[in-house]
Structure 1
Amino acid sequence: MSEETKVQDSAQESAPAETISQEAMDNFVSLKKGDTVKGTIAKIEDNQAFVSLGYKYDGVIPLRELSSVQIENAAEAVQVGQEVELKVVSIDDEKEKLILSKKLVDGERAWDVLQSRFEQGEVFEVSVADVVKGGLVADVGVRGFIPASMVERHFVEDFSDYKGRTLRVKVKEIDRENNKVILSQKEVLDAEFEQNKQQVMSSLEPGQELEGTVQRLTPFGAFVDIGGIDGLVHVSELSWQHVAHPKDIVFEGQSVRVKVLKVDPAAGKISLSMKAAQPGPWENADGKFNTGDIVTGTVRRIVNFGAFVEIAPGVEGLVHISQLAHRHVASPFEVVKEGQEVKAKILDFNPAEKRVSLSIKETEEAPEQPAQRSERPQRDRDRGPKVELNNPNVSLSNESMSFTLAERFGDKLSKLK
């Protein structure tokens, strides 16, 4: 027998013989492949669902015909007692069974709905049916695919826990001819983020302090969520002390207190500071250091006139070039280098002016000076041997003196005339 057949309502089998001819003819329904029928889910098994159609033949929906996406159990697609509209896939007269499809009916309806949603930019909810390589799959009457890059605003490494989640999406791309539907949750989140961002930015003012959560770290700073939008805490604003990398100070998910430094609505940028929301280093240092104290610090910067040494986080003092060593120093680089740990004596501490004067040489013992020979002044040596007046062997006659001067100075005397 062909796929086209005649099935009779089972209720007619008990009708009186004299009335069958007309009533049976009225209740016979001619079904063929592709026809649409309505029924109620009567029973569910793992790989199929049975449908009560009110006909003599049973209706069966195989697992593959229940949904446009892959499912493992028929209960994932239908429930007992649920009314469904189905399409006849084939007719098994031998087993008196109709093979039906729910996904074909859902698909026909879905394309028109999806096209309308695409044109209007409508946001709607979908349930993630499966996690596949490259993204997520959702049943939207047809198979809807959400690429990994269109799931969240941030990078997601593992989607294994997304199955069963409800997402709010837009139709990003639709191609009925190739049975292709691309969905995006990221577009929905981006639009909401921008709207919320403008509202939050309009309420922010420089100097305002807020609680935030560290969202992500970069080599140049940390992005902190302050109510649905992110602000940047530059690496130089993370702490009063020197920071090599933000990960040395904060971690993702950490709650932090920040101060608003600058708001730029046009550029959509917010500059934040963690250190400005904390007591300053000079405030903490007041009372901890006194003139004359010997402290240990780290050389942070070297300039032509000396070196700056950090003696507490954010507190730097100057060691003038004259205070680097007891010897003459032509350049500070001769004595110290950046990162070097040194001991220094506090010569002056002024927290009000944020100034500290230090000395390295005052912590070191001065070298001993070499002993100097005792010599007669040059002018005494030039005068010749010392004349002792009481010495009887020395003549003080004019001739003796004249001879002696002439002998010592020669013709130089003539030039004096």
Structure 2
Amino acid sequence: MDDLLAQEMEQALAGLSENDMLGIIPEKKALPKVKGDGHTRTGTIIRVQGGDVMVEFGPKSQGVCPLNQFESAPEPGTVMDFAVERLDAFEGLLILSRIGMRTKPQWDNLQVGQIVDARCVGMNQGGLDMEVAHHRAFMPAGQVDIRSVPDISIFLGEKLQCMIIEMRKERGRMVLSRKAALAQTRRENQQKTLADIQTGQILEATIMSLQPFGAFADIGG
């Protein structure tokens, strides 16, 4: 991590507790103890929501299973057996998998430098609360975009492609940067454009600025 990014993160995290950084809200009631490690429970599918299948085990117990573990979208009301992986304490949901389709926990597959899909689930004084594969993460305000964003609340509820810039698995901490992901995409586009461009080729371009000596144009890279 470079010195500028480290300084920016230090400023963003100043005064925040570990709970604040992860967007964890103190629970109003105790959550039930859950036996994980593949413990089997029978539940009823209540709906398909995006890439998730919501499952009900009782009036106060629900879980979520990835839709990609089903051959086709299951119908609400279908009763099935699931393996309980763990409890997501923030959402109060059981994280489930289909029997016989358990995979290595996604947390173990995540690493610094990886580009991931992250959902913005909240804000705090230093940045955005994010969620990656049902794990909490934090994105400093200065890492939201390449350009300054006056009101980062516009990203609430949005799914964003971000780069993991810090991970402390033993503490369950993950820090993200959309700015770094955008910069990487820009570099890749520049390299592709320079590799494909030829002398005499006619290109469409967007004029970015005018100077006495000429114009700066964006040709898509």
TM-score scaled by length of structure 1: 0.30
What secondary structure is seen at the aligned counterpart in 1 of 2:111? helix
Contact 1:146 1:182 in 2 (8 A): yes
Residue number in structure 1 paired with 2:60: 60
State the 1:148 CA deviation.
2.1
2:68 equivalent to 1:40: no
Corresponding position of 1:212: 206
Answer yes or no: is the 8 Å Cα contact 2:129–2:136 preserved in 1. yes
Once the two structures are TM-superposed, the CA of residue 118 in structure 1 deviates from its matched residue by 0.5
Aligned to 2:56: 51
Question: Take 1:174 and 1:199, find their aligned partners in 2: how far apart are those partners?
Answer: 31
- Tell me the residue number matched to 1:124: 116
> Which structure exhibits the higher relative contact order, with contacts defined as CA atoms closer than 8 Å and separated by 6 or more residues?
2
Identity %: 21
1:113 positional shift: 2.2
Task: Find out whether 1:160 has 2:153 as its counterpart.
Answer: yes
Inter-partner Cα distance in structure 1 for 2:201 and 2:95: 61
CA contact (8 A) 1:212 1:224 kept: yes
Distance 1:209 1:34 in 2: 60
Alpha-carbon spacing, 1:60–1:129, altered in 2? closer, same or farther (3 Å): same
Is the aligned partner of 1:137 residue 2:142? no
Asked if residue 102 in structure 1 is aligned to residue 105 in structure 2, the reply is: no
Does structure 1 retain, via aligned residues, the 8 Å contact 2:203–2:219? Answer: no
Deviation at 1:115, TM superposition (A): 3.7
Between the aligned partners of 2:116 and 2:106, the Cα distance in structure 1 is 11
2:72 alignment counterpart: none
Provide the C-alpha distance between the structure 2 equivalents of 1:226 and 1:38, rounded to a whole number of angstroms: 56
Query: SS in structure 2 opposite 1:174?
Result: strand
Structure 1: tracts of 5 or more residues without a match: 1-31, 53-57, 67-78, 90-99, 230-417
- Deviation of the 1:143 alpha carbon: 0.9
Matched letter for residue 181 of structure 2: V
| Structure that is richer in strand per residue | 2
Question: How much has 1:154 moved relative to structure 2?
Answer: 2.0
State the match for 1:189 in structure 2. 182
Partner of 2:219: 226
User: How far is 1:217 from its partner?
Assistant: 9.5
- Residue type at the aligned position of 2:129: V
Q: Is the 8 A contact 1:115 1:174 kept in 2?
A: no
State the match for 1:384 in structure 2.
none
Q: Residue deviations 1:270-308, cap 9 Å, x none?
A: xxxxxxxxxxxxxxxxxxxxxxxxxxxxxxxxxxxxxxx
How many angstroms does 1:212 deviate by? 0.6
On the 8 A contact 1:144/1:181 being kept in 2, the answer is yes
| Matched residue count | 159
CA RMSD of aligned residues (A): 4.6
Alignment check: 8 A CA contact 1:43 1:51 kept: yes
After TM superposition, give the deviation of residue 149 of structure 1 in Å: 2.2
Deviations 1:81-123 (A, max 9, x none): 587637689xxxxxxxxxx9525779xx99952342206x432
Call closer, same or farther: CA 1:88–1:187 in 2, change over 3 Å.
closer
Structure 1 stretches of at least 4 aligned residues deviating more than 4 Å after TM superposition: 41-44, 79-84, 86-89, 103-106, 109-112, 204-210, 221-224
Amino acid at match of 1:212: T
Q: Distance in 1 between matches of 2:177 and 2:194?
A: 26
Kept after mapping to 2: 8 A contact 1:43/1:50: yes
Q: Secondary structure at the match of 2:183?
A: helix
Question: Based on CA coordinates, which of the two structures has the bigger radius of gyration?
Answer: 1
1:157 shift after superposition: 1.6
Counterpart-to-counterpart distance in 2, 1:146 and 1:125: 13
- Rounded to whole Å, the distance in 2 between the matches of 1:110 and 1:182 is 24
Cα distance between partner residues in 1 of 2:109 and 2:94: 20
User: Aligned partners of 1:112, 1:128: CA distance in 2, in Å?
Assistant: 21
Residue of structure 1 in register with 2:71 after alignment: none
The within-5 A match list for 1:367-382 is none
In 2, Cα distance between equivalents of 1:113 and 1:80: 26
**Equivalent residues of 1:212, 1:225 under 8 A apart:** yes
Distance 2:55 2:201 in 1: 68
TM-score (norm: length of structure 2): 0.51
Q: In 2, Cα distance between the equivalents of 1:115 and 1:88?
A: 16
User: Can you list the C-alpha shifts for 1:220-254, whole angstroms capped at 9, x where unaligned?
Assistant: x9864321x3xxxxxxxxxxxxxxxxxxxxxxxxx
